[in-house]
Each structure stands twice: as structure tokens, then as C-alpha cells.
Amino acid sequence: MDIEKGLTEEQAAELAAQGKVNGSAEIKTKTVGQIIKDNTLTFFNFLNIVLVILIFIFSRDINDIKNAMFIAIIFCNTGIGIFQEIRAKRTIDRLTLISAPKAHVIRGGFEKEIPNSEIVEGDLTVFRSGMQACADSRVVWGECEVNESLITGESDPINKKEGDMILSGSFIISGEVRAVAEKLGADSFANKITNGAKYLKKADSKMMNAINKILKGISIIIIPLMLLQIANGVFWAKPEQTFNDAVLSSVAAIIAMIPEGLVLLTSVVLAVSAIRLAQNKTLVQNLYCIETLARVDVLCLDKTGTITEGSMQVTEVQMLNDSSGVDVNSAMTALTNALNDTNPTFAAVKERWNGKASNQTVATVPFSSARKWSGAQFADIGTYVMGAGEFILGSKYEEIRETVEKFSEGGRRVILLAHSKEAFRDKELPADIRPVALIAITDKIRAEAPATLKYFAEQNVDIKIISGDNPITVSNVARKAGVLHSEKYIDASTVENIGELVDDYTIFGRVTPPQKLELVKALKAKGHTVGMTGDGVNDVLALKEADCSIAMQSGSEAARNVSNLVLLDSNFASMPKVVAEGRRSINNVERSASLFLSKTTYSVLFAILFVILQTPFPFKPIQVTLINTLCIGLPSFLLALQPNKELVRGSFIANVIRKAIPNGVAAVISLMAGLAWCRYYGFTSEQVSTVLAFVLGSVSFMVVLLACDPMRPWKIGMMIGLIGLFLFGSLHLAWFFSYEPFTIEMTFVTSVTVACSAIFTLLFNFCINKIIDVIISKRKERKKAA
């Protein structure tokens, strides 16, 4: 390999054609065709099309065709779902492209930047401080230090020289090398580790599972009820209907039962959440993970990159006994001005002592992993060196060992500042060197970490710190960040079955990748919903197993690709925003689902009652369409997008049913009361249909009003607007929506029934909820007593 020219473009193209290329690891999203298919080819869309066909077949004249207007709502709903999902896809694709990693290679004697995916076997790659290795490469020139924490979990730097391998996923922290790419794609060390995560994991959404159960139950009863309605209208009802009229009234009954916008609503709400989070630099790779994170009760965190910034800081300086007359600040400022080391320790020192120095530098010795120290000689103040005490003092280190060990308690990294009046001896330490001061360096805790950790503690989310670092160091960092019970730590390398100890400790140090996986599995086995953050290849198995996984953009590609969420700014403070979005989604969908299911409840009960009473179903499809649109469809979408930070409580399906059943029962009682009044006054079937449509509309608006709690000005405006549209459609477009002109008797019956129904709905809901609250409270008391 020519370490000056590398491969030619022709050679690289030929190798790529042979398949010896790194390959793409970009995030795969649905195609536009798949999105259209998933939103269009649904059971309820198919059922609605069948209903439209029935209307066209059995309509007596052109006027009856208007009953098929409900299909416009279906098209509109489907269109909204497709639009929102495509918009979310494009947002995610764009962010993925922006965050795609790059590599530097030498081709034809020139250095160029290319996507990681285009590296071929034999490429001469260039690694400098801050770069990440994207393939297993062998060093052919230069020397550097690498951080392999993303692979092994160990944060200590490792020296690499000619002949050594730099593994994919490693970060270069100092030096510069050229290395030949040897193992790419699936053959690389990092990808071999991640093979255990290459399995399809089904999205676990309690919300969607509950909705699917509800829809399955509805789909089972729809067809039998439709057949019963037709039979009732033709054979049993008095007066009997023609077959055509019976089909049309049955279609109206089925339209009322179908919660046609419920699944769509859920998809739209989650898609909107994905867009909102993308605007806050959080990439959502699985829509349902937004919901899952809101339900997480145990959050497993890595130390580096999550609680800490991945950099170091000077926290304390301790002068030693024989350092009288030495100005540490002046000495350290002179050193940071003279040296150009690029390792994390020097960066922390440079940040602390970053002033200007006027000292004349005579000679410098840069840091190396072999020496473990660096230093500079000055014309006026002699020679200063800093680094590991054992390497600087040699046998004299024993004199200060006890002091150093005490100073390093809590897992702090300690460097020694030493001085000599003599010069370097051919880049070797000068004679007569004496210790001056000890400098404590620790991980720099993210400024936002304490507030974020406090937030999760307030939300009753347990924190577990799982790291490959020394448990004492991790415990100390966790304590400073505000992690509760951070004193409970264990060295995972000293135990065999780490999963058995998951409840006993908060801090787990020296954890291997298989042990991380074991810990997550143990937590899930105990019934917890587990969230996991990570940035390294060593986190991949655990990230894949967790209910909700969150990766940092600054971490490895493997971690990003298996995670549900990627924090593009690698900022742990984004987590509460994701939780808030999840809560907004769950609580709002739950609230809107109660509107859809209220309609389904009273429609099913009403249809069954009319079969029992042998009375024709009173509504026409066009009337049901108006009520569905203004009392269910529009308000449900508007309410589903409102802010909502309430805690997610209880079962989704139980909460929805708790709201829907009382609403449905109240509607049925109100409608039956209205029907009794209509029969008393001897109204025609068309007049009955008009009165009951107004009663149903009023009850539906009361249900919307209950869902608006807490009331806000915009919700009041929404209610006024919806009621206004309903009255306009019912009165001014009566001919279109099949409403009869109001007589005095009809006006009286409608006004009294609407007023009584509204009051009854409120009181009935209040009483039922109080009874349920009492039952739940007593159950809790019995559980406590037991």
C-alpha cells in the first residue's frame, strides 16, 4: 500500500462493484407507496365502500345518492393520514441525510471526504483527533490514542501505533494516523457484536393494541346487526319498509357504529408528535415509541454521553508539602500555552488555565501513552511536567502514594504537577524532579443532567446507571448529578448472575454487553416498562431489548440504527420533551377515542333496541354524516392536538370504556325518551327522524363538552363554531340533510327533549364517575389491608 497515494478512483470503483464496500446503514422508512397502501387498504375503508355501493344500488332517485356523502369524510380522513405520514417520512429522511457520518480517505494522492458507506476494502483512511473509525483498519503510518468506550464501555484511552488495529466505533482522541480498511460492513468488529440485535421486534403499543381489540369486537357485530336491521325493516317493523328503504336505514345504522377515524386519528397524532420532536432535534424511528417512553417506569442510563458530556474538568488542586514558593496557576498557564496535547486530560487542564503566559519556552515534550506525562522547559522558571505520578517520580512516588490515594477517593483521576530547575535529557525527565501539586480531574456533568434526573424522580421513574467504567467513579458522578441511592453500587465483574441483583443496586459498573442485556431482561421480567439510553456498540443488545431505546447522535451507528429515538443534539435534556409528547398523544387519543366509542355504543344499543321494538331505524345516512362530522370527527382531531402533560394513568381501554359507556347509555335513554314523545304526538317517520337527529346532536355536543375539560377560550370558540355549523346545516340546508320543516309541536318536543337530554347527560356522567371512583377507592383499600 502506497501510504501517500492510496487507491485510485478506478480501483475503488472496481472494489465497490465486487461488493467490497462498507454499505449503507441509513434508517429505512416506509415508501410513499407503502404509506398510501397502509392508510387506504383497511377493513373499515372497505366496509364504507361496500356501504356506498349499497346506497347507489338501492337508491330510488338521485336525491337518495346524497346519503353517500359520508364517503367524502372517509377520503378526507385517509388523505390527512397519508399527508401527515409522508410529511413525517420526509422529515425523518432529511434528518437522516443530515446526520449521515463521513470518512476521510486518500485516493490518487488526494484527501477527500466521502460517506462511510462508500469506503472500500483497502482504502487508505485518515484518522485525526475527534474522528470516528467506521471500519476495522490497520495503522500503516503514525501514532494515536483511541477511545474504545463505545465498543467495550471502558473510557481509558488506548495507544495505537503501526501494525495495530483500530476497531470500528473507536474515537481518535489524540495524534494522527493513516490506516488501511481491512474489515467492512458485516465483517467489522462492531457489526459482529450487533449481530445479536438483528431480529425483528414487533412494536408494542398498549394504545394501538387496545384500539385494535375494540375494532375487532365492533367488526364482529357489524354484519349481523346490518342483516338484522334489514330484516327488521322489511319483515318485522310496523309500518314495514320497502327493501330499498330498509337497506338505506341499515346503512345509516352501520355508519353510526363505525369509528372510522379512530385509527387514522392515532396515526396522525403520533405523526404530528414525530414532526414536533424532529423540530426539537429528536429523530423518531418508531412512532409507537413516543407512547412507550411516556409509560416507562425504569430508565437505564449510561454514564458517558448521558449524565456526563464525555469530557473532563479540573475540580480541585492540592499543594504538596515541599512545594513552597511555587505558583501553581502560573506554572499550569505556562504549560498549557507551551503544549499542544489533544487528550481529554489536557483539554480539562487547558480549560481551567487558559490565560496568556509570557514565559519563554525552551523545549517541550508532548504527551504519549508510553511516557504518561508531558512537559515544557522555560528560560526563567525551569522545567514543569504533568502526568501520572508513578511515571514521573519513579521510586520516589511511594512518599506521596498515600496522599494521592486519599485525594483520588470518589473515583477522581489525579495528575501530578512536578518541577525541576534542570533541563530535559533528550526528551527524558530532568534530574532532581520534585512534586508540586495534585490536580483532581473528573467527568464533566452535563449542566442539564441534574434537572432532567430530578424530573424523572418526580415522575416516579427509577434510574439505573449501567456503565463499563469503575463503579466507584460512576457512583461519584451519579451522586453529583443527583441520582437517588447512588451509594448503592456494584462491580459487575465480580458477580455471575447480575440480573438477580437488579433491585438491590442503582449503579452497575464494569458491565459487559451481555450483562447489560441481562439487566434489561431482568427488569422486564419483573413487570417494568424499561427505557434504555446508550451510544456505543456495547449498548446495542440492551437497546434492542428495551421497551424504548434512546441513542445519542454522537454515538455509534449501530446504537442509532437499533434505537427507537435518536437525540440529534446528544442532549439528555430532550428526554422530558419526548415524555411530554407521549403523554399528550396517549391522553388526547384516549379522550378522542371516548368520542368515537360513545357514538359506537349508542349506535349499537339503539340498533338492537329498534330490532327488539320492531321499529324502523329512524335516521338517514346523510343525517348521521352531519352528526359524525361536527360532533365526532372535527372535535376529536382538534382536541387530539392540544397540549396535555397529565400523567398517564390506568389502562387505555378501561379509561376509554369508562367514558364511552355512560355517554352511550345517556344518549340511548335520551333518544328513547324523544321517540316516546314523538309517538305521543303522532309524528310521521320523517318528523321523528328530524327530532331525534336534533336530540342525538345535542347529546353528542354534551359529550364533546365533557371531553373539553379543562375548558379553554379556544375550546369555547370551537364549541360555538360546531354548534353554529350544525344549526346552519340542519335549518338552512334542511332539504339537503333530509330534515323536515319544524311545526309548533316538533319545536316544543325538540326543545324540551334537547334541554332535558343535555342536563341528564351531565348528571348521569357525574353520578357514574362518582360510583366508579368509590369502587376503585375501596379496591385500593382492600389491597392495602391485604
CB 568 within 8 A of CB 282: yes
Crossing angle (nearest 10°) for helices 328-338 and 344-352:
130
Phi, then psi, of 289 in degrees rounded to 5: -70, -25
Give the alpha-carbon dihedral of 472, 477, 481, 483, to 10 degrees.
-20
Q: What share of the chain is helix, strand, coil (3-state, %, to 5)?
A: 55, 15, 30
Residue 468 gets which letter from DSSP? S
* 466 strand-pairing partners: 508
Give the alpha-carbon dihedral of 361, 364, 367, 369, to 10 degrees.
-160
Q: Coil, strand, or helix at residue 552? A: strand
Cβ neighbours of 703 (radius 10 Å): 27
Burial class (CB in 10 A: 0-12, 13-18, 19+), 755: exposed
Burial class (CB in 10 A: 0-12, 13-18, 19+), 536: buried
Q: Which cell is 565 given?
A: 429515538
Query: Rounded to an integer, what distance in angstroms lies between the CA atom of residue 213 and that of residue 218?
Result: 9
Closest CA to 667 of 600, 593, 719: 600
Cα 639 to chain center, whole Å? Answer: 22
Question: Is the peptide bond preceding residue 366 cis, with omega within 30 degrees of 0?
Answer: no
Phi, then psi, of 420 in degrees rounded to 5: -145, 145
Cβ neighbours of 425 (radius 10 Å): 9
Q: Which cell is 19 given?
A: 461488493
CB 320 within 8 A of CB 436: yes
- Angle of CA points 735, 740, 743, to nearest 5°: 135
Instruction: Tell me the CB-side half-sphere exposure of residue 107, using CA atoms within 13 A.
Output: 19
Alpha helices in 24-69 (DSSP H): 32-40, 43-58
Query: Rounded to an integer, what distance in angstroms lies between the CA atom of residue 395 and that of residue 18?
Result: 58
- Selected catalytic residue, list 123, 245, 302, 535: 302
Query: Rounded to an integer, what distance in angstroms lies between the CA atom of residue 235 and that of residue 253?
Result: 17
Q: Which cell is 40 given?
A: 387506504
Residue 207 gets which letter from DSSP? H
Query: Rounded to an integer, what distance in angstroms lies between the CA atom of residue 213 and that of residue 219?
Result: 10
Question: Is the peptide bond preceding residue 741 cis, with omega within 30 degrees of 0?
Answer: no
Q: Walk across the sheet containing 434-445 and list its strands.
A: 308-319, 434-445, 413-420, 382-387, 373-378, 361-365
Is 302 marked active-site?
yes
CB 530 within 8 A of CB 524: yes
Catalytic site residues?
302
